[in-house]
Amino acid sequence: MKSAGATAADLPESHRRHESFMAYSHFFYLKIALLVVAASVVIYTIDRPYGSGYGGTWAGYTLGTAGALLILWLTWFGYHKRSYANISTRLAAQLSAHVYLGLALLVVATLHTGLHLGWNVHTLAYVLMCAVIASGVSGVFCYARYPRLMTENRAGMTMQQMLGRIDSLDDELRQAALPLDEATAMVVERSTETNAIGGSAWRQLAGHLPGCTTAAAIAYLDAKGMVVAPEIEEAWRRVRVLLEEKGLLLIRVRRDISYKAMMDAWLYLHVPIAMMLLVALFAHIFSVFFLW
Amino acid sequence: MEVQVTVLSRRGSAIMRRTRTVSSHRVCFGRGTGNEIPLSDIRVDLTAAALFPVGGGIRIESLGPSPVRVNGTNATAAAVKPGDEILIGPYQIRLSEPPPGIDATLTIELVQPLSDSLRLTSSSRIGLERAISKRRIAWIGALLVMVIFFAAPILIYASKTVPAWRKAGSDFNPTTLIALLWKPGELSNSHRFFAANCKTCHATPFLRVTDDACLACHEKIGAHTASGANLGVMQQVLDARRCTDCHLEHRGTRGLIVSDMRLCLDCHRTLAEAASAADVSNVTGFPKGHPQFRATVVADAAKPSFQRVDVADKAAAIDRPGIKFSHAAHLVSGGFPALGIKQMGCADCHVAEPSGQGFQPITYKQQCARCHALDFDRQDLPWPNARVPHGDDAGVAAAVWNFYAGKVLQGGISEPPAPEVSQRVPGPPTRAIAETPGADPQAWVASKTEAVLQTVVFDEKRGCGYCHFGTGPQGAFEIAKAITSGAGQPRVPTARIVAPVILQSRFLPFAWFDHSKHVAVGCEECHAAAKAEAVGALLIPPIETCVGCHGGERAALRAQSTCTSCHGFHRDFLGPMRKAATAAP
C-alpha cells in the first residue's frame, strides 16, 4: 500500500527496506559501544593501585561515573520513547544506541567493581544492573525471533479478522447443530461460548488451553462419529467441518497471543528491575560518600 | 476465461443484483483489491481462492490459509460445476448454468454479515498489561530497595542499636545484617569484631576516616624516623601522611597492610636526594636496586659510639665490642682436648631465644665461664670456690689491696727469693720485694697491690687481659691510676680498670630477620665464622647471600619477597608516631 503522492524513490534507503535496529546505519552504535569498551579497558589497565583494583581508585571513580551516567541515559530512553511525536531522530536509531551502549555498560561496570563482590548494597546495584541487561538481551532475542513467527502464524490475516471469523463460525455452529441430538448439541453449544481467548498472564504465555471447549467438541464428535443416524449425518458432517475450521483458527489466535505475550514478558523484568536499580544505584553512591 | 459475476444483496425482502463480466484466464477471489473478484470483508483472506479452467471443466483452488468449503466439505482444490455451492469466508458463491460464450456464471452473496463480531474482541483479555501492571511491580520493588538498603542502614548508623564493639553478643541478627549492607569489602582479620559498627572508624558522615579513629586503639604505634632527624622536605611529606593513605581497609582479611613495593619506593626511590642529610641510600627495587647491607657496629664501646658500615667493605666492617674474641680460634677443628671439648659448634654459645627469631645475649656466665673460669690458687680469698668474680674489676683490686693491708697487720709476708742456680734471662737482677712493710705501710701495700694486679690479675696471659682491654691508651691497664683513685675505707678504686664491653645482639636494627624461618639453612651457609680470624670480624652476610633464595615481589623461581618481608614502617623503639591531639585530619 503506497501513500498517496509519495513514491518509493522519495524515501531514504533505510525506509524502503527493513533494516534491523541491530544493524542500524551500518552498525554505527556497535562501533561506538566498542570504543567505550576499549576506553574502559585502557583506563582499567593503566591504573595500578597499591592493593587490588576496586571502585575507589581513580580508575574506579572514572568508570563508576561513566557507568552511572550511562545508566541514567539508558533509563531516560524508556521515558523518552513514549513521546513519539516529539522525537526528531528515528526511534530505531535510539533503540540501537540503547541496546549497544547497554551491553557496553556491562563491561564498564564490571571493570569498575574490580570484581570485588560481596553481600552488600554495592553488589546489589551491580547484580540488578546485570539482570536488567540480561533481560534486555532476552528482549533483543525476542524481537529477532517472534515477529517472523507471528507473521508466519497469521498468514496474512489480522487478529481482528481471525476473531471475526471465529464469531461468525460460532453463529454458523449454532444454526448447524439444531438437528442434532441433545447431548451433541449441548457439546456444540458449549463450544460456541468462546470467551477463553487470552486470560491471565500465564494463560496467555502458555499458548494453548487444555480445557478448550472446541477441542472437546471435536473429540466428542470423533468419538461418536461411528454411530450416527443417517438423518442427522448431513448436519453432523457440517458441524464437524465448522468445528475443524474454528479449532484451527483458535490455535492460530492463541499462538499469536502467546508470541505477543513473550514479546512483552521480558519488559516485566527489564523495567521494574531498572527502577530498582536506580534506587540501588543512588543508595550505592550515597553510601560511598556517607562512609567515606 | 469469461466469467459472469452477479453480486446479490438483500435488504429485508428486496433483492438487488449487480452483474458484470470478468475476463481472465484465472479469476481470483479475495479481500485484496488486486483480485479479479474482490470480496470486501475482513473475514476473507487477502487472496482466498482462484477459479480456473482445467481441461473441459472448472476448478477452484484455495490460495489463502483458510480452506474453501465446496458443497459443505472443506477443500483446498476441487472441480466445480454448475449447481455447486462454494463458501469463501462469509460469502456464498453459487455456480449456475452459464449462457453461451461464458465459461462460468457465479452468484455471490454475503450470507453472514459482520454484525457484532467485536463481541469476541471485547470479551477477550488479550495483552499482558491487562493481566499484570509493570508500574505496580516497579513501585513495589523500588520501595523495597529504598527501605532495606537505604533508609534502614542510615537509621542504624544514627542510632545506637549496634552494640559497642567490646560488648557484641551474637554475630548475626537483623540489626547487624542491615548494618553490614553498606560494607564495600571484607574487613581485615583483626578488625572484624567491630565490622557491624561503622561508627568505630567512620565517625562523621561525609568525612574521611581521621587518624584519631586509628589512634584510639593504636596510640603507641611507632614512628618511622627518629625524632630530630634531619629529613628536609620529606619531614612535611611524612607528617602529612594519613593512616589511611597506606592502610587500606575493606580490601579483604589480609588487605590492610599493603605489601606492594611501590608504596615504599615512591619515597625511597629518590630519598638520598630528597633527604640528603639523613644518610639514606636510594632503593629502586629488590633484589635489583637494593643497596648493600649496612650493619650497625660498635665504633667505641667506651663512649659508647656506633656507626653503620658497609658489610662488604672488609676494611671498615669491623665490630669493636671491647673484647678480644675470634670465632676462628674457638671453632678450630679438633676442638680442645685438654678441656674435653671435641669440636665447638655455633649452638654451643649462641642459644636461640624462645621465639626462635634471634639469640639470647652472650654473657660471660652463660657462655664463657665454662671454659674461661677465673680460678685462683690461693685459698685465703674472700670468694667461695677460689673463683674471682667476673666483671667487678674495682672489687677485685680492692680485695687484693685489703689482702696486703691485712698482711701489714700480720707483720708482712715472706716470699721465697729466686733460686740461686736457675737459668735466668740476662738483664738486671729482679728486685727483691721487702719482706716487711717497713716505714711506709701504705706505700708497701700500694706497690704490692700494683705488682700483683699488673702481673697476675690483669695480665694478658693469665688474667683479665686475655680477653679485655684496659681503659688506658692502646688498651693498657692503668692500675696505678686506679689504685690512687679510691677514697675512704676500705679503699675501693673508683676509676674503671677494664674498658666497657658492648656485645650487640642486633647488627641490623632497621630490618627483621627471623632465624626460625631459616632453620633449614645451616649457620655456616650465611655466617663465615670458622674463617673469621680477626678480632671483631663482622659476620653479617652481604645481600648477595640472601638473593640466592629471595627474589622480587613476583619472582618465579625464588621466594617472593617485598619490602615488608624484612622491614617495617613503624618502629616502636623510636617512640610514638603521632599524638592523637595533633593528628592530621
Q: List pLDDT tens digits, range A68-104.
A: 999 999 999 888 877 766 666 677 888 899 999 999 9
Using CB atoms within 10 A of its CB, is residue B433 exposed (0-12), middle (13-18) or buried (19+)? middle
Residue B202 — left, alpha, or beta (φ > 0 → left; ψ -120 to 50 → alpha)? beta
Cis peptide before B361 (omega within 30 of 0): no
* Band of residue B298 on the pLDDT scale cut at 50, 70, 90: very high
Q: Which residues of B are less than 8 Å from A269 in CB distance?
A: none
pLDDT score, position B305: 92
Residue-level length of chain B: 585
The C-alpha atoms of residue A5 and residue A47 are separated, in whole angstroms, by 61
Q: Work out the end-to-end distance of chain B between its first and last CA atoms, rounded to an integer number of angstroms.
A: 102
Tell me whether residues A195 and B206 touch, CB distance under 8 A.
no
pLDDT score, position A5: 46
The C-alpha atoms of residue A98 and residue A79 are separated, in whole angstroms, by 12
Q: Which of A13-17, A38-42, B288-292, B523-527 has the lowest mean pLDDT?
A: A13-17
Q: What residue type is assigned to position A27 of the chain?
A: F
Q: Residue A283 pLDDT more than 90? A: yes
Beta strands in B137-243 (DSSP E): 222-223
Tell me whether residues A241 and B72 touch, CB distance under 8 A.
yes
Q: List pLDDT tens digits, range A44-73.
A: 999 988 877 778 889 999 999 999 999 999
Residue-level length of chain A: 292
Tell me whether residues B138 and A159 touch, CB distance under 8 A.
no
Interface test with A, best of B123, B128, B148, B248 (most A CBs within 10 A): B128
Cell of A146: 517472534
* Band of residue B406 on the pLDDT scale cut at 50, 70, 90: confident
Q: Which of B1-5, B191-195, B273-277, B443-447 has the lowest mean pLDDT?
A: B443-447
Cis peptide before B509 (omega within 30 of 0): no
Residue the block writes with cell 593501585: A49
Q: Residue A39 pLDDT more than 60? A: yes
Q: Which residue of B has its CA nearest to A159?
A: B121
Beta strands in B277-358 (DSSP E): 294-300, 305-310
* Contact status of A51 with chain B (Cβ, < 8 Å): yes
Interface test with A, best of B145, B180, B202, B259 (most A CBs within 10 A): B145
Tell me whether residues A51 and B255 touch, CB distance under 8 A.
yes
B14-23/B73-75 β-pairing: unpaired
Tell me whether residues A116 and B185 touch, CB distance under 8 A.
yes
The C-alpha atoms of residue A239 and residue A211 are separated, in whole angstroms, by 20
Q: List pLDDT tens digits, range A211-261.
A: 888 888 888 888 887 777 777 788 888 889 999 999 999 999 999 999 999
Tell me whether residues B184 and A261 touch, CB distance under 8 A.
no
Q: Which residue of A has its CA nearest to B245?
A: A50
pLDDT score, position B90: 85
Backbone φ and ψ of A28, nearest 5°: -60, -45
Tell me whether residues A245 and B66 touch, CB distance under 8 A.
yes
Q: Residue A126 pLDDT more than 50? A: yes
The C-alpha atoms of residue A230 and residue B302 are separated, in whole angstroms, by 138
Helices marked H in B411-456 — which ranges? 441-452
Residue B411 — left, alpha, or beta (φ > 0 → left; ψ -120 to 50 → alpha)? left
Share of chain A above pLDDT 90, in %: 45
- For B134, which of A56, A204, A271 is closest by C-beta distance? A271
The vertex-B580 CA angle with B579 and B583, nearest 5°, equals 85
* Band of residue B169 on the pLDDT scale cut at 50, 70, 90: low
Q: Which residue of A has its CA nearest to B244?
A: A292
Tell me whether residues B144 and A276 touch, CB distance under 8 A.
yes
Q: List pLDDT tens digits, range B312-357.
A: 988 888 999 999 999 999 999 888 888 888 899 999 999 999 999 9
Q: Which residues of A are less than 8 Å from B185 in CB distance?
A: 54, 116, 118
Closest alpha carbon to B528 in B545, B512, B515: B545
Contacts of A109 (CB under 8 A, 6+ apart): A63, A67, A126, A129
* Contact status of A225 with chain B (Cβ, < 8 Å): no
Q: Residue B48 pLDDT more than 50? A: yes
Q: Residue B275 pLDDT more than 70? A: yes
pLDDT score, position A1: 43
